[in-house]
Amino acid sequence: LIQPKRRPGIYVIHIAAEMAPVAKVGGLGDVLTGLSRSLQRKGHLVEAILPKYDCMDYSRIVNLKELDLELHSTFDGQIHKNKVWCGIVEGLPVYFIEPLHPAKFFWRGQFYSEPDDFRRFTYFCRAAMEFILQSGKRPDIIHSHDWQTAVVAPLYWDIYVPLGLDSARLAFTCHNFEYQGAENSGAIAACGLSARDLMRPDRMQDNSFHNKINLLKGGIVFSNVVTTVSPTYAQEVLRPEGGKGLHGTLGVHSKKFFGVLNGIDEEVWDPSTDVLLDYQYSAEDIDGKFINKQKLRERLGLASQGDDEKRPLVGCVTRLVPQKGVHLIRHSIYRTLEKGGQFILLGSSPVPQIQHEFEDIARQFEKHPQIRLVLKYDEALSHSIYAASDIFVIPSIFEPCGLTQMISMRYGTIPVVRRTGGLADSVFDVDDERNPEEKKNGFVFDDPNEGSLNWGLDRALDYYTQRPEWWQDLVKKAMLMDFTWDASADQYVELYKQVLSKTKV
Ligand code: ADP
Strands 141-145, 62-66: pairing kind: unpaired
Average pLDDT on 333-346 reads 98
Angle made by CA atoms 182, 208, 149, in degrees to the nearest 5: 25
Q: Is 377 in the pocket of ligand 1 (CB under 6 A)?
A: yes
Instruction: Output the CATH code of domain 11-265+486-503.
Output: 3.40.50.2000
> Sign of dihedral through CA atoms 409, 411, 415, 421?
negative
Give residues with Cβ within 8 angstroms of 182, minimum separation 6.
206, 209, 212, 213, 214, 215, 216
Choose one of 404, 405, 420 to mutate for the ligand 1 pocket test, by most ligand atoms within 8 angstroms of C-beta: 404
Q: Is 87 in the pocket of ligand 1 (CB under 6 A)?
A: no
- Residue whose C-alpha is closest to residue 335's, from 413, 391, 410, 406: 391
Question: How far apart are the CA of 319 and the centre of ligand 1, in A?
Answer: 6
C-alpha 128/C-alpha 126 separation (Å) is: 5
pLDDT at 369: 98
Choose one of 372, 382, 401 to mutate for the ligand 1 pocket test, by most ligand atoms within 8 angstroms of C-beta: 382
Q: Is 18 in the pocket of ligand 1 (CB under 6 A)?
A: no
C-alpha 265/C-alpha 131 separation (Å) is: 29
Q: Is 50 in the pocket of ligand 1 (CB under 6 A)?
A: no
pLDDT single digits (tens) 80-98: 999 999 999 999 999 999 9
Question: How far apart are the CA of 419 and the centre of ligand 1, in A?
Answer: 19
> Using 50, 70 and 90 to split pLDDT, how confident is the model at 502?
confident
Q: Whose CA is nearest to atom 9 of ligand 1?
A: 27
Q: Is 378 in the pocket of ligand 1 (CB under 6 A)?
A: yes
Q: Is 21 in the pocket of ligand 1 (CB under 6 A)?
A: no
Q: Is 423 in the pocket of ligand 1 (CB under 6 A)?
A: no
> Using 50, 70 and 90 to split pLDDT, how confident is the model at 26?
confident
| Cα-based distances in Å from 107 to 8, 55, 120, 198 | 40, 8, 11, 31
2 pLDDT exceeds 70?
A: no
Please provide residue 476's backbone torsions phi and psi, each rounded to the nearest 5 degrees. -65, -45
Single-letter residue type at 175: H
Angle made by CA atoms 397, 400, 395, in degrees to the nearest 5: 30
HSE-CB for 100 with a 13 A CA cutoff: 11
Q: Whose CA is nearest to atom 24 of ligand 1?
A: 377
Q: Is 400 in the pocket of ligand 1 (CB under 6 A)?
A: no
Q: Is 26 in the pocket of ligand 1 (CB under 6 A)?
A: yes
pLDDT single digits (tens) 350-382: 999 999 999 999 999 999 999 999 999 999 999
- Residue whose C-alpha is closest to residue 412's, from 285, 264, 262: 285
Average pLDDT on 298-326 reads 97
pLDDT at 505: 43
Tell me if ipTM is over 0.85. yes
CATH: 3.40.50.300, 1.10.10.10, 3.40.50.2000, 3.40.718.10. Which one for 287-479?
3.40.50.2000
pLDDT at 129: 98
Choose one of 19, 173, 178, 319 to mutate for the ligand 1 pocket test, by most ligand atoms within 8 angstroms of C-beta: 319
Share of the chain above pLDDT 90, in %: 96
7 pLDDT exceeds 70?
A: no
HEC sequence for 346-376? EEECCCHHHHHHHHHHHHHCCCCCCEEEECC
432 pLDDT exceeds 70?
A: yes
Start and end residues for every CATH 3.40.50.2000 domain found in the chain: 11-265+486-503, 287-479
Strands 414-418, 391-394: pairing kind: parallel
> Using 50, 70 and 90 to split pLDDT, how confident is the model at 437?
very high
Question: How far apart are the CA of 121 and the centre of ligand 1, in A?
Answer: 22
Q: What is the DSSP letter of 249?
A: H
Question: How far apart are the CA of 320 and the centre of ligand 1, in A?
Answer: 10
> Contact at 8 Å (CB) between 475 and 286?
yes
pLDDT at 27: 87
1 pLDDT exceeds 80?
A: no
> Contact at 8 Å (CB) between 166 and 176?
no
Share of the chain above pLDDT 70, in %: 98
Question: How far apart are the CA of 317 and the centre of ligand 1, in A?
Answer: 6
Q: What is the DSSP letter of 125?
A: H
> Sign of dihedral through CA atoms 207, 354, 398, 494?
positive
pLDDT single digits (tens) 37-81: 999 999 999 999 999 999 999 999 999 999 999 999 999 999 999
User: Order of strands, edge to edge, in the sheet holding 342-348?
Assistant: 371-374, 342-348, 313-319, 391-394, 414-418, 443-445
Q: Whose CA is nearest to atom 4 of ligand 1?
A: 26
134 pLDDT exceeds 50?
A: yes
C-alpha 357/C-alpha 245 separation (Å) is: 30
C-alpha 280/C-alpha 292 separation (Å) is: 9
pLDDT single digits (tens) 450-487: 999 999 999 999 999 999 999 999 999 999 999 999 99
Question: How far apart are the CA of 287 and the centre of ligand 1, in A?
Answer: 26
pLDDT single digits (tens) 233-250: 999 999 999 999 999 999
Question: How far apart are the CA of 346 and the centre of ligand 1, in A?
Answer: 10
Average pLDDT of the chain is 96
Average pLDDT on 24-45 reads 95
Choose one of 318, 374, 383, 407 to mutate for the ligand 1 pocket test, by most ligand atoms within 8 angstroms of C-beta: 318
The atom of ligand 1 lying closest to the CA of 399 is 3
Average pLDDT on 400-411 reads 97
Single-letter residue type at 64: L
